[in-house]
Amino acid sequence: MTAANDFDLFIHDIGAGFLVKIGTEKGKELLFRHVKTRKATIKEISKLVEFHKKKESMFTASINAEPSTLPLIYSGSYDSPVWEEIGKICYGCGSCNLVCPTCYCFDVRDDISLNMKDGERYRVWDGCLLEDFAKVAGGHNFRKTRGERLRHRFNRKFQFQVDKFGGLFCVGCGRCSRACLVNINIVEITNKLIEERETGKKE
């Protein structure tokens, strides 16, 4: 229940103080320059272990595959009937986009003043589940159906961004599943795709 890497300092609050895990030389230098430290006692470490056990018990759902296999599973799921199934119930409201900590898409808009002499170009938040997201000039839409838009969103979390940045873009927070008005659950959908791949069936 802690990040394994990509941090300078990881600070755990254990009530009467803090346990600090050093992740980089920069973090080590920062810590020793500003704080008087000592080695953690066995009792303090056991407090942290208990904290992690308690947190882990709160996770009632899990993906039935190693994270490293998810890009391959998603790359083979393009024609899965799952997308049409969930597309039929999705409202296309974009709630999942709005609450996701790794969604960052935006649209660029131009507003021209009434005097027609000046204007403003600005960015607004956008989301791939919204109908107009993939719409281009001439009214063409590269992802017309909600199923296609859901497939795109899930693939961005588990395949496309992995290829681009080297890591999953789902942090496992569950916000999208909680925000969804029709209870589309990212863990359940992923497990369905895993099951399809394992059984070789596309029901």
The pLDDT value recorded for residue 1 is 43
- Domains of the chain: total: 2
Residues 127 and 103: their CA atoms lie apart, in Å, by 8
- Is residue 128 within 8 A of residue 104, CB to CB? The reply is no
Mean pLDDT by 10 residues, the chain (203 residues): 75 88 93 91 91 85 91 94 97 95 93 92 94 91 95 95 90 94 96 91 51
CB atoms within 10 A of CB 63: 19
CB atoms within 10 A of CB 193: 22
123/183 same-domain check: yes
48/72 same-domain check: no
Residues 168 and 173: their CA atoms lie apart, in Å, by 13
| pTM of the predicted protein model | 0.75
For 122, phi and psi rounded to 5 degrees?
A: -145, 160
159/76 same-domain check: yes
73: containing domain: 67-199
